[in-house]
Amino acid sequence: APLPPYRVLTGLVDRFGRTQTFHREAGGEFSGEITGVTDGAGRHFRLVLTTQAQRAEEARQQASSGGTEPSAFPDTLPDYTEYGRDNGIRLSAVWLTHDPEYPENLPAAPLVRYGWTPRGELAAVYDRSGKQVRSFTYDDKYRGRMVAHHRAGRPEIRYRYDSDGRVTEQLNPAGLSYTYQYEKDRITITDSLDRREVLHTQGEGGLKRVVKKEHADGSVTQSQFDAVGRLKAQTDAAGRT
């Protein structure tokens, strides 16, 4: 669940004492947004954010320089979706700007870049060499509903949905495919080798959690959560908690 506005996440510390510190923009159009991260090794990463209007202008400039007709790329997005509020800000690139081990050998290109559709959906991921390593396709009618996902060098994975927007099939032409059957407090997952897992759930909406998982080999794992959905305990197939 998101933090209330009076609580601002400034960092994370793991059990070994390693830290990750978040730096937020003090003013301007990205005020309050995370635009920098320092990891436990002292490396600093700059997060490049863009607005919908900036991405639309970039698309028009690319079309103009390429001599092509610009695609329909609106300057604004709906400020509220079924997934929550949307300010149109997206992460476009991550740069390594400081490395205490190699201060004079910083990369001249971003570590990763992200491309976005005119509807604000993640369309592509590019590595530091500029190669596209992942791409995503979405339903024309339902914004944000991914219908295909492709990784470089691998077959495209496709998804089918029911009328309630739930995934019913995950289709892999070169590997395991899956079907999903939904019942009250129960989801049955069957792969293309006819192996079956059953997830038992409790709670509603954002507090729905998997409290028991029946694995294909007959073993069972169980989980307990507190009133706000945080994991309290987990018992494995051998009865160890």
Q: What pLDDT, on the 0 to 100 scale, is given for residue 86?
A: 92
Reported as a single tens digit per residue, the pLDDT across 113-149 is 999 999 999 999 999 999 999 999 999 999 999 999 9
Beta-carbon contacts of residue 119 (< 8 Å; ≥ 6 apart): 77, 138, 143, 144
Q: What does the angle CA 176 – CA 178 – CA 182 come to, to the nearest 5 degrees?
A: 165
Q: What pLDDT, on the 0 to 100 scale, is given for residue 3?
A: 66
Q: What pLDDT, on the 0 to 100 scale, is given for residue 64?
A: 86
Q: What pLDDT, on the 0 to 100 scale, is given for residue 36?
A: 98
Is residue 1 pLDDT above 60, yes or no?
no
Q: What pLDDT, on the 0 to 100 scale, is given for residue 12?
A: 95
pLDDT band at 200 (very low <50, low <70, confident <90, very high): very high
Q: What pLDDT, on the 0 to 100 scale, is given for residue 33?
A: 96
Q: What pLDDT, on the 0 to 100 scale, is given for residue 68?
A: 80
Q: What pLDDT, on the 0 to 100 scale, is given for residue 233?
A: 97
Is residue 84 pLDDT above 90, yes or no?
no
Q: What pLDDT, on the 0 to 100 scale, is given for residue 80?
A: 83
Is residue 150 pLDDT above 90, yes or no?
yes
Reported as a single tens digit per residue, the pLDDT across 48-73 is 999 999 999 999 998 888 878 777 89
Mean pLDDT of 191-218: 96
Q: How many residues does the chain have?
A: 241
Distance of alpha carbon 158 from the chain centroid: 17
Q: What percent of the chain has pLDDT over 90?
A: 86
**And the tokens for 34?**
């995370």
CB 25 within 8 A of CB 33: yes
Sequential DSSP letters for 151-192: ETTSPPEEEEE-TTS-EEEEE-TTS--EEEEEETTEEEEEET
pLDDT band at 206 (very low <50, low <70, confident <90, very high): confident
Is residue 39 pLDDT above 60, yes or no?
yes
Sequential DSSP letters for 61-123: HHHHHTT-PPP---S---SEETTEE----EEEEEEEEE-TTSTT---SS-SEEEEE-TTS-EE
